[in-house]
């Protein structure tokens, strides 16, 4: 498992980012915490929700999110950090939503603000892609690259996959909703990319288990990438976990262009 090097990111002009914490009450208000789970493919980024994490100036691919009671929601975002600024991860409850196919819910939104000015610096990302009102628009042209996911069906047709969840803070397109069907994840879809540094939010699915892993990928014109994964038991920090190992290959050559990384899912008690 790759871990975030706090000291390496610390410099004279570094920015910082942190989460928030609100204690629950006896009369029914649940504990709410926002967090930074991963930065540019590195995990274990902070010892506490409100611990400031140094960031080098420039683009970053992050997984942020919130805990509300026992519910955890990770969200992939892109942050272009500016020198000396202090950023804060916030959560906002959305309006009641009812759909005959999805049922009733209260979608929540996660976003990042400048702590000093209150300026919102990333789009408000809904905590589930299915509820989004805006999706990533693919570029066109001869220099575009592509990245695609992989999928296996196991057991009772359950998905095991590493797939493109988001690009630069916008969810990847899903299947259209109809009167009879919900929006569905396109696990194996190829998504076109502009050349340059792209913040890729990788969705990891193993049946009902789910995680998000952020990569800041340097995309060359005409490149073709494929997401790969393995699912199994791993020994991580002296504990046994179910984990998904994820990496990225050059689809033309088979070369690994992003190293294999273990993403812990569930810690086992034995």
Nearest CA to 50 out of 34, 32, 66 is that of 34
**Long-range contacts made by residues 159-162, C-beta under 8 angstroms, separation at least 24?**
159/185, 159/187, 159/205, 159/207, 160/205, 160/206, 160/207, 160/229, 160/231, 161/187, 161/188, 161/203, 161/204, 161/205, 161/229, 162/202, 162/203, 162/204, 162/227, 162/228, 162/229, 162/244, 162/246
How many other CB atoms sit within 10 Å of the CB of residue 200? 27
pLDDT at residue 104, rounded to an integer: 55
pLDDT at residue 269, rounded to an integer: 85
Per-residue pLDDT of 203-213, as tens digits, reads 999 999 999 99
pLDDT at residue 1, rounded to an integer: 67
pLDDT at residue 177, rounded to an integer: 81
For the chain, domain boundaries: 6-127, 145-267
Structural tokens at position 240 = 């046994």
Residue 197, strand partner residues: 218
Residues of the chain falling short of pLDDT 70: 1, 25-28, 96-105
| pTM of the predicted protein model | 0.92
pLDDT at residue 102, rounded to an integer: 56
pLDDT at residue 270, rounded to an integer: 79
């Amino acid at each position: 498992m790759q871990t975030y090097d706090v000291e390496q990111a610390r410099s004279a002009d570094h920015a910082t980012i942190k989460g928030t914490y609100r204690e629950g009450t006896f009369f029914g208000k649940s504990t709410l915490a926002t967090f930074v789970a991963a930065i540019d493919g590195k995990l274990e980024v902070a010892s506490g929700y409100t611990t400031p994490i140094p960031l080098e100036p420039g683009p970053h691919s992050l997984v942020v999110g919130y805990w509300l009671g026992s519910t955890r929601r990770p969200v992939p975002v892109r942050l272009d950090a500016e020198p000396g600024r202090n950023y804060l991860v916030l959560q906002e409850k959305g309006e009641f939503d009812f759909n005959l196919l999805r049922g009733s819910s209260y979608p929540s939104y996660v976003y990042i603000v400048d702590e000093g000015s209150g300026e919102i610096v990333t789009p408000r990302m809904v905590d589930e892609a299915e509820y989004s009102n805006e999706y990533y628009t693919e570029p066109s042209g001869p220099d575009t690259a592509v990245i695609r996911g992989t999928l296996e069906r196991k057991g009772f047709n359950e998905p095991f996959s590493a797939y493109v969840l988001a690009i630069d803070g916008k969810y990847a397109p899903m299947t259209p909703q109809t009167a009879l069907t919900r929006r569905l994840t396109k696990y194996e879809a190829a998504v076109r990319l502009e050349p340059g540094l792209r913040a890729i939010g990788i969705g990891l699915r193993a049946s009902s288990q789910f995680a998000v892993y952020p990569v800041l990928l340097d995309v060359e014109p005409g490149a073709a990438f494929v997401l790969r994964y393995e699912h199994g038991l791993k020994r991580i920090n002296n504990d046994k976990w179910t984990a998904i190992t994820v990496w990225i290959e050059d689809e033309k050559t088979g070369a690994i262009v992003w190293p294999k990384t273990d993403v812990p899912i569930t810690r086992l008690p034995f």
